[in-house]
Chain A
Amino acid sequence: MVELVIDHRKNSEAKAAPVPSGNGPQPAPDDTPDAEQPLYAARRKIYPQSVHGTFRRIKWAVLLATLGIYYFLPFVRWNRGPDAPDQAVLIDFPGRRFYFFFIEIWPQEIYFFTGLLIIAAMVLFLMNAVAGRVWCGYLCPQTVWTDLFFAIERFFEGDRREHMIRDAGPWTAERVARKAGKHALWLVVAWWTGGAWVLYFADAPTLVRDLATGHAPLIAYGWIALLTATTYTLAGHMREQVCTYMCPWPRIQAALTDEYALNVTYRYDRGEPRASVKKSEQLRLEGLPAGDCIDCRQCVNVCPTGIDIRNGAQLECIQCGLCIDACDNIMEKIGRPKRLIGYDSQVNLERRIAGEPPVQKMVRTRTVMYALIIAAVGGIMLYALLTRHAFEVSVIHDRNPVFVRMADGSIRNGFTMRILNKRLEPRRFAVSVTGVPAAVVEIVGLPLGAAHNVEVGPDQSREFRILVSNYEYAPPASSPIVFHVLDLESREWAQARDHFRAPERQK
């Protein structure tokens, strides 16, 4: 079996090593081979061929769905009442709010985003443990936009062969026109991408009107310009280099995968030894080993990252499945079974070679752990979301002076209290203080001795200055103090803790 395994190193060296120039000085013979390898490899332009098949259809569907959501979500309306924005998804920086359909997040609740990020990471890990780089191949924005840009490129410059021939030929007027058309449409898509981005940060229909009439804020135009530039550069020009050189995920993914994970795999046990259709048939008639791979290189031609999947799992492979489609089409034509390239796991590859039946082991320690973490974090977030208070209170002690001695010798502390009212109607709260015996509490702005009832406007927070004086005894240097806030209608309550500070007692 050994000779059937492809030597990866040989191929990668062939790709990376430059052709030595004839008259250049030759390396000294005692140099180690590694020292001869330059660190820089020039980019080879990739001309991926178009392909039809199951995975191509899945990719088109995902592309339409994800881009559709991205471009049109800002226009979805959601009624929240008369004084609140009616945009379903809105990041309102001036108003310090994040709206997501029925959820409204205040800056104080940023931990929901922490939870979302943990879940996102775990979903990524889980996808990887089950079916490899599903994210990279189908969902990643870099992949989706690059795919779209490839489609535009083929529309103007033709498919692989046509494009390559034209690029190798002279600069004719037609070639210039085709290139100009491609770049123009790329820029339009890039511009629309940037334009959709800013719509998430302001009322979308208003902003579209303002952008069109030139009344939008400068920052909106700036962001559109920036994202137009990045989309055009990343999806139009950098493409697979983003995945190969910039993205950390391939490195992390390689460390997280295991022998049970499904990956886009060339089934070399079926494919090798490679030979032409005729020769293979001849070999089979003679009862000699013959592989299904006819070395047609269709899998290489369609690859958006320009690699040969037959070299095994490699960092550059985003596992988009297009080589599966390309190979299936060929297998169909030569009358051999499909899925010479397919989603397969390392363990099954080895079991087939050993003549054992394949196993599908979805429930493994790592998939269970990932699922449990997703369930736990999701559960905590859901619980927090459902039980969160419609108001919050926070208190901060005066920093300077920490305490004040009054003319009669008593000690007073000043506090700043902030009450957040997350409801869309004004609410009245009663404020009380416990912890300091015989304390006199005053809220600045309210008459001394009046009930400590305060009002906070709808969907607002308000700050109050609270003075707490101790009149009865010499308090300890620091004693706990609790501020209670009670909603006078719903009887909901919240509290905040702090300390009442006094001078150190004389020994």
Chain B
Amino acid sequence: MAQHKSEVDAITGVETTGHEWDGIRELNNPLPRWWLWLFYLTIIWSIGYWIVYPAWPLLTTYTQGAFGWNSRAALREDLAALHTKRAAMSDRIAASSLEQILGDQQMLDFARAQGRTAFADNCAPCHGAGGGGAKGYPNLNDDDWLWGGKLDDIALTIRHGIRSTDDKTRQGSMPAFGRDKLLSRQDIENVTDYVLAQAGLPTAQGADLAKGKKIFADNCVACHGDAGKGNREIGAPDLTDQIWLYGPDRNTIIEGLINGRGAVMPAWAPRLDDTTIKSLTVYVHTLGGGQK
């Protein structure tokens, strides 16, 4: 850009700014009047805005505005309006048992819709958007349940959590057999191969399954049962089915035996209202794995 003395343009009779780009000069036309007046109007408008709405931060508070409007009160009003709108169905959900909700198409549709939203807000970060789960976070679509897949089981889990700080939380965890020196490394490998064999999965070459069976009987049956079918009272998984919370490969199972397992799910009763928990329960149950 070259800088020149400003001059009057011959064709338009308008003064130029003195800026020049490759021979192109800029006319110093005034701003359009309508634009300028609109600009002044917005300045005047803003003064009214300061007076009626919260505007200026002060040392410890802020100007409240003559209208007394604030966004929190507006949100409270919106929420109240929403609750009023939903009241008829919400009251029915609150007054009905989980089985009744499942049996009534209208309530089921409402609960699934509410449950889907509540799930996305609260559960999806761990269990995935569709409840598909991840390593260490159970898939809620399948029919394998650590703590039970009946409506009441699911509701209890949601309300009180798993190994959470809640008084009625579900308790029970896998001991750290390796870290706490309960089993030697060799024993752990033997029992791992035994478990893999029971589930029909490939074992290490030359695995001593007989020894593994004895170690299993001595250490594992208390929780997982004689046949390794698990125990839903204490959240001990079925070791014979096709679903593995942390994965079915040998090293993952060894890792679990060494360090133990004890993932935590928070209790939701303190955070969500009863209707929402009921809807969530029905939603999770109807993802596909719910049991009668």
Q: Do A and B come from one complex?
A: yes
Contact across chains for A399 and B130 when beta carbons are under 8 A apart: yes
Q: Is B241 interfacial (CB 8 A cutoff)?
A: yes
Decide if B241 touches A407 in the complex (CB within 8 Å).
Answer: yes
Which residues of the other chain, B, contact A407 by a CB distance below 8 angstroms?
Answer: 142-144, 238, 241-243
Residues in A with CB closer than 8 Å to B142 are: 404-407, 412
Please tell me if the beta carbons of A414 and B141 are within 8 angstroms of each other in the complex: yes
Question: Pick the contact of B288 from A27, A38, A404 — CB < 8 Å?
Answer: A404
Interface contact A27-B242, CB-CB below 8 Å: no
A399 to B131, CA, bound (A): 11
Contact call A26/B10, Cβ cutoff below 8 A: yes
Let me know if B132 and A21 touch, CB within 8 A. Answer: no
Also in contact, A401 and B139, with CB within 8 A (given A27-B11, A412-B288): yes
Pair A38/B12 contact, Cβ less than 8 Å: yes
Closest A residue to B102 by beta carbon equals A445
Smallest Cβ-Cβ distance to B288: which chain A residue = A467
User: Which residues of B lie under 8 Å from residue A109 when comparing CB positions?
Assistant: none
Q: In the complex the two chains form, is B242's CB within 8 Å of A35's CB?
A: no
Q: A176 within 8 Å of B by Cβ? A: no
In the complex, the chain B residue whose C-beta lies closest to that of A25 is B10
Write out the residue numbers on chain A whose beta carbons fall within 8 Å of the beta carbon of B141: 401, 404, 412, 414
The answer to whether the Cβ of A465 comes within 8 Å of any Cβ in the partner chain is: yes
Interface flag for B286 (CB, 8 Å): yes
Q: Closest residue of chain A to B292, judged by CB? A: A448
Contact call B11/A35, Cβ cutoff below 8 A: yes
Check A28 for interface membership: any CB of B closer than 8 A.
Answer: yes
Q: Mark B120-148, 1 if CB is under 8 A from A, else 0.
A: 00000000111111000001011110000
How far is A401 from B129 in the complex, measured between Cα atoms in Å?
8
Proximity string of chain B (248-292) to chain A, C-beta cutoff 8 Å, 1 when within and 0 when not? 000000000000000000000000000000000000001111000
**B105 beta carbon closer than 8 Å to chain A:** yes
Fill in one digit per residue for A402-414: 1 if any B CB lies within 8 Å of its CB, else 0.
Answer: 0011111100101
Q: Say yes or no for B224: interface residue by CB 8 A criterion.
A: no
Q: Does A350 contact B (CB under 8 A)?
A: no
**Is the CB of B206 closer than 8 A to any CB of chain A?**
no
Chain A residues with CB below 8 A from B102, complex form: 445
Q: In the complex, are the beta carbons of B286 and A401 less than 8 A apart? A: no
If A401-B132, A404-B288, A414-B288 touch, whether A445 touches B108 (CB-CB below 8 Å) is yes
Whole-angstrom CA separation of A38 from B143 in the bound complex: 79
**B13 contacts A by Cβ under 8 Å:** yes
Report chain A residues within 8 Å CB of B139.
401, 404
List the A side residues contacting B108 at CB < 8 Å: 444-445
Q: Are B105 and A28 in contact (CB under 8 A)?
A: no
Min Cβ gap B247→A in Å is 13
* Chain B, 169-214, CB within 8 A of any chain A CB: none
Quick check: A27 and B10 within 8 Å, CB to CB? Answer: yes
B8 in the interface (beta carbon within 8 A)? yes
Chain B residues within an 8 Å CB radius of A27: 10-11
Q: CB of B112 within 8 A of chain A?
A: yes
A25 with B132: CB separation less than 8 A: no
Question: Of all chain B residues, which has the CB nearest A466?
Answer: B288
Question: Residue on B with the closest CB to A400?
Answer: B130
A36 interface hit (Cβ, 8 Å) = yes
Q: Which parts of A19-36 form the interface with B (CB within 8 Å)?
A: 21, 24-28, 31, 35-36
| Chain A residues positioned under 8 Å from B286 (CB to CB) | 444-445, 465
The answer to whether B242 touches A398 (Cβ under 8 A) is no
Contacts of A445 in B (CB 8 A): 102, 105, 108, 286
List the A residue with the shortest CB-CB distance to B108.
A445
- In the bound assembly, the distance between CA atoms of A465 and B142 in angstroms comes to 15
| A400 & B287 in contact (Cβ 8 Å cutoff) | no
| 0/1 string, B8-42, CB within 8 A of A gives 1 | 10111100000000000000000000000000000
Which among A25, A38, A407 has the greatest number of chain B C-beta atoms within 10 A? A407
Interface string of A8-24 (1 = CB under 8 A from B): 00000000000001001
Tell me the A361-414 residues at the B interface (CB within 8 Å): 398-401, 404-409, 412, 414
Known contacts A400-B130, A400-B132; A405/B11 CB under 8 A: no
List chain B residues, Cβ under 8 A from A28: 10
Contacting residue for B13 out of A21, A399, A406, A463, CB 8 A: A21
User: Knowing that A442-B288, A445-B286 are A-B contacts, what are 8 other residue pairs whose CB atoms are under 8 Å apart, sorted by A's residue number?
Assistant: A25-B13, A27-B10, A38-B11, A400-B130, A405-B142, A406-B142, A412-B141, A414-B130
Some 30 contacts from A to B, beta carbons below 8 A apart, are A21-B13, A24-B13, A25-B8, A26-B10, A31-B10, A31-B11, A38-B11, A400-B128, A400-B129, A401-B128, A401-B133, A401-B139, A404-B132, A404-B139, A404-B288, A405-B243, A406-B143, A406-B242, A406-B243, A407-B144, A408-B241, A409-B241, A414-B130, A442-B288, A444-B288, A445-B102, A445-B108, A445-B286, A463-B109, A465-B286
List the 3 shortest-distance A-B pairs measured between CB atoms, nearest first.
Answer: A401-B132, A400-B130, A407-B241
